[in-house]
Amino acid sequence: MTVETDALAEAALRFSESIRAERTSTFDALATERQAALKIIEALRAERGRGTQQASGRFVFGVALGVAAGIAAIYFVNQRASDEARLGLTAGPVPSEPEAPRLAVGERIRAAIAAGQRAAKGREDELWQSYRKRLTQQPRRDEPLF
């Protein structure tokens, strides 16, 4: 029995060493894979940082270009307006009669509001008349209800 026990003990020892070696190689492989994954993550972060910087640069360039275009447009519009003002060519109301009194700004606003109210009231009356007329008529077969 000692021979068999020694053989079993030796087989168990070899099996244990084999498992230990396999575990060590697995841990080494996992450590290597972890290092490779960390390098990939670092490279991706660096690339993202470069992309963010490029996007920020393009945004700043776009804003600067827009500001420059706005300034140019304002300059040309104001230049034309100042030339017209210098020459006295500004558009303004031309009175039909030389002695026609000029209305104050507040009076002109009130008159415009009153004219708008009269126009809205007239249109509202037209719509109500049309509605009442449609209510009294029988719908035709080919005409949709709505």
| Angle at CA of residue 51, ends 47 and 55, nearest 5° | 170
Asked if residue 119 and residue 49 are part of one domain, the reply reads: no
101 occurs within a structural domain = no
Q: Read off the pLDDT of residues 82-123 as tens digits, 9 standing for 90 and up.
A: 656 666 555 555 555 555 456 677 888 888 899 999 999 999
C-alpha distances out from residue 106 to 52, 97, 109, 112, 119, Å: 55, 21, 5, 10, 20
7 occurs within a structural domain = yes
Query: Model's pTM, two decimal places?
Result: 0.33
100 occurs within a structural domain = no
Asked if residue 60 and residue 32 are part of one domain, the reply reads: yes
Asked if residue 82 and residue 51 are part of one domain, the reply reads: yes
61 occurs within a structural domain = yes
Query: What is the pLDDT confidence band of residue 139, given thresholds at 50, 70 and 90?
Result: low
Q: Read off the pLDDT of residues 23-52 as tens digits, 9 standing for 90 and up.
A: 888 888 889 999 999 999 998 888 888 888
- Give me the percent of the chain exceeding a pLDDT of 70: 78
Concatenated DSSP letters for 22-52?
HHHHHHHHHHHHHHHHHHHHHHHHHHHHHHH
Determine the longest span between alpha carbons in the chain, in angstroms: 140
Asked if residue 54 and residue 123 are part of one domain, the reply reads: no
**Domain that includes residue 8, residue range:** 1-86
Closest CA to 104 of 91, 115, 93, 96: 93
143 occurs within a structural domain = no
Pull the structure tokens for residue 129: 């008349």
Asked if residue 8 and residue 36 are part of one domain, the reply reads: yes
144 occurs within a structural domain = no
